[in-house]
Structure formats: structure tokens, C-alpha cells
Structure 1
């Protein structure tokens, strides 16, 4: 079973300098007119003291990594404990996800891909930033950035290593390209030693990045 590296150097690089680089490049080359106006408004409001950038960052991070991905985590946990649901999820992800009450814009056409021993899936949108909002919430900045979108296709193993994920050389890495027509949800491998956990406890082990493929599900006791 693949393992996650202990975070330090690789993950620090991707989460700090690389992600700032990704965001900077995106700001200058990938923003739409609406996004530029929003960014300009945010700058003016910050300069006038109407908003606190740090508080705004915390709010965005909450929706990116906690509130939104909880839906997807519940989908994954159900797939881990219910073989029939897992089969339906892999056959028709849109319908199976809707069984749990999650549907809507950006989630109309879903495909679930499952990690397994010897196979790891990772998702990207090479054209823009297509992302399954109903199950993962807001897309992280790095997912929308040009460097991630180009590099993960050319060098998925290297990019995963920067996120702290080290896979055996024999592991096949499949890169899935989201489009306006279809979006993907990765079902990470269930961590070992979780046989006695409840569905809610299992959902707590599922991270946003593990459902994109740039991370693994947490081990028991890992925070």
C-alpha cells in the first residue's frame, strides 16, 4: 500500500513557495475579467481596512479544506463500508453521490476512480479549473494554477512527491483530465487498521487532497 512521506521538505515546498508561485502566475495569466475585478476590490477593501486578509484566508481555507470536502469524505467512507454502494459509485458516480444528497452545479457528470494496490489516480483540469464543487467545495489555488496543470501531466510522480506522497516505482499513476462535461472523484485506499471504525470515523480520515489524488487518506491517529 502506498505511504505518505512525513511531510517536511517536499510538502513544505509545494504548500509554501510553490503554491505562492502558482498563485502569482495564475494572477497574471489565468484570471478572468470577473476574477480580476474581485481581486482589485479585495485589494481596495484591504487597504481601507474593511477586511482582514488573514481572517479572509482562514475563511477560504475552512471552505476549501473542511466544509466542502466533508461531503466527498462521506461518499468515500460509504464506499469503504458498503460494497454495493461502491459498485454503484464506480458504475454511475453522479447517481450514487446523489443518493447521499449531494448534487448540483459542477457535479452533474461525475466519474469515480478508485485507488488500489499498484494503481494511483490523480486529477487535473488542463484547460481551466473544472472541479466537483458538490463533493469537494472550492478548488484550491494550486489546482487552478498553470504549473500544476502542466506539470502533473508530464511528471505526476514528481508532483506527488512534492505533496509528500511517495509511491513504489511499480505503482501505475493515472492522470485524469476534468472537463466542462465530466469531473472526477478519487476514492483513496482505505487505511489499514480501520476495520472497527464507524463510517463517521472513517470519513474523518478522508482529506480533500486524497480525493484529488495529491494525498492519501490519513492513518488512524494521524492529524
Structure 2
């Protein structure tokens, strides 16, 4: 499955937004590159950086990690992560025995407060349907091969509950500061469709 599925037609809201954007560009109200830059900031920089800081704190501080896994909603408040709209935030820890991955099978519920805007593929029908049925095959298409000796658990987000994955800390990062650890955390590793960068990739 491609990360960008072009076979799924845009939703009505997406079409309306695109029409408004086109009109504004044609009338010189906005620069065409500005919209793409803003989306990139929210999708790949600002949003995921919040989640990356949460992960780095959990890797570096075992007490915080325990609180995060016990009650994600309350632990996030310690880092001034706000904006939750009543839904509970549950953080799932990846271990050598278990790999977690998140999805929203009904629509596109997503932990935007920590990960920013959802990627296009997260909202696509193929991902939403297939990850539940054949998670190992889908993850392999993302380049993530999970051994048969490791359990794969799929968690379905909804209006009441949002999930975030706490990926395993890469080896050879002992003594690293939180600021340095942040750079290893990828958005996909917090969804469960990827893993953090390795120290030699940083």
C-alpha cells in the first residue's frame, strides 16, 4: 500500500477547502507555497515535535513513563499539552514482545494534540480496513517487518479515546539528553507504522 493513496476521491470538505484555496491563490490573497508550508509545519514539524518531546521525556524519566502509561491524559498536562476535547489519551508501550499500531476504522480520529495533522494515508480506506485484518502485511509495506515471535496489537481510536504509541528507545543512546533523544522520534513511530531513527541516522 502506498503512503499516498490516489484511488480514494477527496471528501466533500476537502473539495471545498481546495476550491477556496484555489480562489484565494487566483485572486492573489495568498501565496500558493504558503499553504503547503503551513500544512508541512503542522503535519511534520510542530505537531509531531510535541509528541516527540513526550516520548523523549518517557525514555529519560522512568517515573514520568510510569505516569504516562498509567494515565496519559494527566501525564500530558505535566508537559503543558492541552487542547484535549474530553477524549482520553492512552499511551501504548512497544516492547520486544509487543508492537502496537493505531488506526481509526470509522473515520480519522487521531491524536492531533501530540502528532499534529494526520497523514493522508492514515485517513485512507485501504489503511483503515487492512491494518485490522492483516497488520503484519500492511506494516511490511511501510518497511516495518515484525517477526512472528512478536505480537501485533491494533488499537482503534474513536471520539472518546485517542491512542499514541511509545516506541522502544533505540540502543546506544544511554546518557543522551532529552533534546537529543527528541531528534530520533518520528511521527510514524508514534503511530506504530515506523520506528525511531537509529543513532547513526541522526
TM-score for the superposition, normalised by structure 2: 0.91
Q: Which runs of 5+ in 2 are unaligned?
A: none
In structure 1, the residue corresponding to 2:197 is in which secondary structure? coil
Q: Quickly say closer, same or farther: Cα 1:45–1:184, change in 2 above 3 A.
A: same
Q: Distance in 1 between matches of 2:60 and 2:192?
A: 20
Q: Which runs of 5+ in 1 are unaligned?
A: 1-12
In structure 2, the residue corresponding to 1:25 is in which secondary structure? coil
Partner of 1:14: 2
Q: Distance in 2 between matches of 1:53 and 1:207?
A: 27
Moved over 6 A (4+): none
Q: CA RMSD in A?
A: 1.9
In structure 2, the residue corresponding to 1:14 is in which secondary structure? coil
Quick check: 2:87–2:159 contact (8 Å CA) kept in 1?
A: no
C-alpha displacement of 1:221: 2.7
In structure 2, the residue corresponding to 1:193 is in which secondary structure? coil
Matches within 5 A, 1:98-113: 98-106=77-85, 108-113=87-92
Q: Distance in 2 between matches of 1:94 and 1:81?
A: 19
- Equivalent of 1:209 in 188, 198, 202: 188
Aligned pairs, how many? Answer: 202
In structure 2, the residue corresponding to 1:166 is in which secondary structure? coil
Partner of 2:39: 60
Partner of 1:69: 48
C-alpha displacement of 1:54: 5.1
Q: Distance in 1 between matches of 2:68 and 2:36?
A: 34
Quick check: 1:72–1:211 contact (8 Å CA) kept in 2?
A: yes
Q: Quickly say closer, same or farther: Cα 1:120–1:26, change in 2 above 3 A.
A: farther
